[in-house]
Amino acid sequence: MPSGAEVVMTGRRGIPHIAVDSCKGCALCVSVCPESVLTIDDARVNLKGYYPVSVKAVENCIACLNCALICPDVVFTIERVVDQQGG
């Protein structure tokens, strides 16, 4: 039987938007993402000289907002998208 959190998230998807140049690459968001949507992008450096977070699997985002809530630099905006089938 699914837990309450899984039931609430059914049918919801999100698109994370990241203010990359404000990110310090602390990876707190990566550690709290239940769907492994985020990763630290070690292939580029932002304007502050940090390796920023990037989206690696947008299709897995459930719009839980964990990343936005834990981020000390407030770099996330989550666009909620309702699945056509999920309602």
Which pLDDT value is given to residue 85?
61
Element (H, E) at 60: none
pTM score of the predicted model: 0.80
Domains of the chain: 12-82 (3.30.70.20)
Closest CA to 9 of 76, 84, 74, 80: 80
The one-digit pLDDT tens for each residue of the chain (87 residues) are: 445 544 344 578 999 999 999 999 999 999 999 999 999 999 999 999 999 999 999 999 999 999 999 999 999 999 999 766 654
**What pLDDT was estimated at residue 11?**
75
